[in-house]
Amino acid sequence: MVHRRELDGEALVLGNQGALYLNAMTWWDHATGSIWSQPTGEAIAGPLTGSRLALVPSTLTTWAEWTTQHPDTVALDAPGRRLAVGLEMMAIVVDLGTEVVSYDVTVLRDAGVVDDVVAGIEIAVVVDPDDPNRWAVYSRRVGDAVVDLERAADGLVDRRTGTVFDPLRGIARSGLMAGRVLDRLPAFTMFPKDFERLFPDGRSWPEG
């Protein structure tokens, strides 16, 4: 997950605090010494306790998949260090402030796309059935309309208008909404047990 480090108009300078909170990393900010939970972006100790940093859209994927979509990317490489991404065992988490929902990646692969409402916002959670490293979360509201998406051979199809969207870029390729773009929403991945520990009031999909 990625958080915006601006709070009340000031940019925080954050460092690794070194301890774990509920088995997850914590930060500290140099200005106040407050301690922050990395998964939730919330200050859990110090003068800024209760403050929360805003999530921004991001993705966890393989380098091969990223460069397929963004071939001009330049990145800092740490020789000998590689992150093994096993998203099949994880969940995609959508945190929109007043409601947090976890979506099981294995079940999502079978569905291809799940239409849901989180914190009053119509969303779509998308996973490529052939590669769980290819995923995205979108707002389903396009202007004054709300699309009702299902997976099809040529992409995501709005049942109401027949518009076909690219599942990983959110761009309408054909149909009444051709050229329109679905807004990407902040989301991140974590292990289901960690979700239950960090977000005890959160909802898990599928329920039960």
Q: Which residues contact 115 (CB under 8 A, 6 or more apart)?
A: 122, 123, 124, 140, 148, 149
Fold of 63-205: Rieske Iron-sulfur Protein (2.102.10)
Where exactly are the structural domains of the chain?
2-55, 63-205
Block residue for tokens 């099981």: 104
Tell me the whole-structure pTM to 2 decimals: 0.75
Query: If pLDDT is split at 50, 70 and 90, which confidence band does 43 have?
Result: very high
Binned at pLDDT 50, 70 and 90, residue 63 comes out as confident
pLDDT tens digit string along 141-199? 999 999 999 999 888 999 999 999 998 889 999 999 999 999 999 898 888 888 988 89
pLDDT of residue 90: 86
CA distance to 6, 17, 34, 109, 170, per residue, from 14 (Å):
11, 9, 10, 36, 33
Q: Name the pLDDT band for 84 (thresholds 50, 70, 90).
A: low
Please provide the average confidence, as pLDDT, over all residues in the chain: 88
